[in-house]
């Protein structure tokens, strides 16, 4: 008797990105850099936070010397908030942002977004979640209607790899050996995209 197993779902990690008030004029340019860095923008929203909302958003910074200036800065004009998705989204977005102090970023990470668009430690141009848990919390704050699914770990992740990734990769490598293309890496990448058994279904939605 054949046992039918439900197809396991694989969830793409998400993080929150915010284009801050003083660089909102660079929105299209920054979005282009985000997309070219391998991220999907699955939700986007332009809004202006009140000082009270900023205080609630940055509650972990409460009591620090710069807290009043931070809430005043973040509530000074419109912001663009985006939910970004890709594998290891949190760590990749933090790497793309660079150090929180834009002056330091220009020295140590000159090609980072904060080096390019930030002014100083406070006005650093963009926000990124520090961890997966903070990303979930911040996404729910900005996008209260968002449905966040857990990232698979342990046996669920192993089941997905054994059922889908390994057989697909083996079939791709077998086809590669038969085809013997001039550029094997590009050929294999195209083959895997075409034969992906569980293509992610990401929605791009903009809410004002």
Active site residues: 127
**CB contact burial 107-138 (16+ within 10 A = b; e otherwise):** eebeebbbbbbbeeebbbbbbbbeebeebbbb
DSSP bridge pairs for 17:
82, 128
Q: 170 phi and psi, to 5 degrees?
A: -65, -45
Cβ atoms of 162 and 10 within 8 Å: the answer is no
């Amino acid at each position: 008797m054949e046992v039918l197993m439900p197809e396991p779902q694989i969830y793409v990690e998400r993080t929150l990105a915010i284009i801050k008030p003083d660089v909102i004029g660079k929105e299209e340019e920054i979005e282009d850099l985000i997309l070219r860095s391998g991220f999907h923008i699955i939700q986007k929203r332009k809004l202006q936070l009140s000082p009270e909302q900023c205080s609630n958003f940055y509650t972990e910074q409460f009591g620090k010397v710069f807290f009043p200036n931070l809430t005043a800065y973040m509530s000074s004009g419109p912001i663009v908030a985006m939910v970004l998705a890709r594998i290891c989204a949190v760590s990749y977005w933090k790497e793309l942002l660079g150090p929180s102090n834009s002056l330091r970023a220009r020295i140590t990470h000159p090609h980072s977004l904060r080096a390019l668009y930030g002014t100083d430690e406070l006005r650093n141009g963009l926000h990124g979640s520090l961890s997966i848990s903070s990303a979930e919390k911040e996404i729910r704050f900005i996008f209260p209607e968002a449905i966040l699914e857990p990232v698979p770990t342990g046996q669920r992740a192993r089941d997905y790899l054994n059922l889908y990734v390994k057989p697909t990769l083996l079939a791709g490598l077998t086809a590669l050996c038969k085809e013997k293309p001039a550029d094997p890496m590009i050929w294999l990448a195209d083959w895997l995209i075409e034969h992906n058994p569980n293509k992610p279904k990401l929605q791009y939605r903009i809410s004002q």
